[in-house]
Structures are given as C-alpha cells and as structure tokens.
C-alpha cells in the first residue's frame, strides 16, 4: 500500500490478526522469564479460588503478542525498509485472559504523519479480544515508526 493510500484510510479498521492460544505452559514460561510468579498466573489450584476461576495470563504476556498480531494484520507500506515499536500513548487491561484462551487484535489507523521524507509515524487504535467474550481484554493506542527506502 502506498503512503497516500494508507493515509486516506485513517479512521478505518485495516486488519484483524489470526487467533493465538495462551496456554498454561506459555504462562509458566513467561513467569519464569520475567520472575513474576504471582499465584494467579502459576498456581491453578489457588487461582481457581479467586474471582477469575482459573489462572490468567500476565497482562504483559498478552500485550507482547501485538508484534505477531501486527505482522498478520497491518498493511505493509510500499518501500518500507524497516519498522520499529515507538511506544504507547495508552494501554488498558480491561479483562483477564484465562489460561487456554484464544486472543486476536483489531487494528484501526488513528493517524499517520510523515515527519520528514521516508520517516513515518503511524498511530494504531488496537482492540485485543478473547474468543467468546464481549469485553475487550486490551485496548491500546500504539505508535509505530516506519522507515521508507530512499527513492
């Protein structure tokens, strides 16, 4: 997609990722990697006694799937040499993700500005959902920088 074509689609949902399963072994591996062993993530018996009813994924584990989801769902910009994660203006974790749930994300183009030729800032409104639930699990305003090859 050209830069002008993408900019003309501001305000539109431009893609939906495939489903990703967040299972207990993945949650356990994330807990080990980040040293966040809170029982609501790693102890199914204790977590079953909480209002969640089961273990839940770490919010940051859920959020980390945005990169893979973006590869699935965001259109590729013609002449793009590379892209980087520039950060977030907002992230909210609205609902827990129980172990075994499947999640995906919807990407709406909120803004696109060309800082200088070949240096593009793209702002995405992202809504991540868990299969079979009405309330989103994550909403975020995500900033991506794209660098275009010199013409």
Domain of residue 24, CATH code: 3.10.129.10
pLDDT (tens digit, 0 to 9) for every residue of the chain, 151 residues total?
999 999 999 999 999 999 999 999 999 999 999 999 999 999 999 999 999 999 999 999 999 999 999 999 999 999 999 999 999 999 999 999 999 999 999 999 999 999 888 999 999 999 999 999 999 999 999 999 999 997 5
Given this model, what pLDDT does residue 72 score? 94
Instruction: Count the domains in the chain.
Output: 1
Position 19 scores a pLDDT of 98
What residues form DSSP beta bridges with 47? none
pLDDT of residue 115: 87
Q: H/E element holding 87?
A: strand 80-93
What does the block give as tokens for 128?
Answer: 């991540």
What pLDDT, on the 0 to 100 scale, is given for residue 150?
77
pLDDT score for 151: 57
pTM above the 0.85 mark? yes
C-alpha 130/C-alpha 33 separation (Å) is 24
Per-residue buried b or exposed e for 121-135, using 16+ beta carbons within 10 Å of the residue's own CB: ebbbbbbbbbeeeee
Q: Which domain holds residue 72?
A: 3-148
């Amino acid at each position: 997609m050209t830069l002008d074509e993408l900019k003309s689609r501001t305000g539109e949902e431009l893609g939906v990722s495939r489903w990703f399963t967040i299972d207990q072994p993945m949650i356990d591996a994330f807990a080990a990697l980040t040293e966040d062993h809170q029982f609501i993530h790693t102890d199914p018996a204790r977590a079953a006694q909480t209002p969640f009813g089961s273990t839940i994924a770490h919010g940051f584990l859920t959020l980390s799937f945005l990169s893979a989801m973006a590869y699935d769902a965001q259109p590729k910009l013609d002449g793009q040499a590379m892209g980087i994660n520039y950060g977030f203006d907002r992230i909210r974790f609205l609902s827990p993700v129980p172990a075994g749930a499947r999640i995906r994300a919807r990407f709406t183009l909120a803004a696109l500005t060309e800082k200088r030729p070949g240096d593009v800032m793209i702002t995405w409104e992202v809504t991540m959902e868990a299969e079979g639930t009405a309330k989103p699990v994550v909403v975020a305003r995500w900033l991506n920088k794209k660098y275009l090859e010199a013409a």
